[in-house]
Amino acid sequence: MNTTARLLLFWMMFAGTHLGLSSLAVRRPLIKMMGLRGFKSAYTLVALATFIPLMVVYFRGKHAGAVLFTPEPGLRLVAEVLMLAAIVILAQGLATPSPIGSQAEMQPSPYRGPRGIQRVTRHPMNLAFGTFGVAHCLVNPTAGDWIFFGGFTLFALVSAWHQDARMRSEAREGVGAYMKETSYWPFAAILGRRQRIAYEEFRPAALVVAIAVYTALRYLHPRLFGGDW
């Protein structure tokens, strides 16, 4: 089996187990049997058991497969802007946990509504990883690159949709209100006047950390991963 086929295989394994285990038909019986913490621990272990081999396959056979296009010089600047955006979004998402997310499920508290980056999209982590995938597809032209990095974007879209479908089926406090107040697509709720960009709710410390991480990666990328960025 060549590298591109193995990349597809491990992406399918990761996505299949990730989405399958989080579906209500599987999730509810496992939580009943293992408890919520036990289920989340097992869920994490399965994710790592499929994602780590995916990473290993890619880095052992980088740039495998046919060359699909020749990157234009200007695409590198676009990719760098997208990567900065991805890191900023990721940092803001981590600094502002979702009121209906995993942490809220573990430690239930009164529903407080969306804040900060959640007003832009209810799936900031997915947006960050999807943007990461697009940025790297722009400057990595082989089939193997597109399977690996494109997988992040495709999985971000599908897993966000899957999470929405599961949330709508659950009767947890605040889920219905949160779904109405926020949007799947970035800025859709703001354009629909259901939300506003509340700059005061964004975390300045997270922005500083994001810029520092971006700068460090920009410098270390050739040594750690090869290429210019």
Query: What is the rounded CA–CA span in Å between residue 162 and residue 61?
Result: 31
Buried b or exposed e, range 72-106, using 16+ CB within 10 angstroms:
eeebbeebbebbbbbbbbbbbbbbbebbbbeebee
- What is the structure's pLDDT at 221? 87
Cβ atoms of residues 96 and 182 within 8 Å: no
What is the residue extent of each domain of the chain? 1-61, 67-224
Query: What is the rounded CA–CA span in Å between residue 89 and residue 39?
Result: 28
pLDDT, tens digit, 9 for 90 and up, residues 117-175 = 999 999 999 999 999 999 999 999 999 999 999 999 999 999 999 999 988 887 677 88
Query: What is the rounded CA–CA span in Å between residue 53 and residue 47?
Result: 10
- What is the structure's pLDDT at 172? 73
pTM attached to this predicted model: 0.91
pLDDT, tens digit, 9 for 90 and up, residues 66-108 = 999 998 889 999 999 999 999 999 999 999 988 887 776 777 7
Strands (E), the chain: none
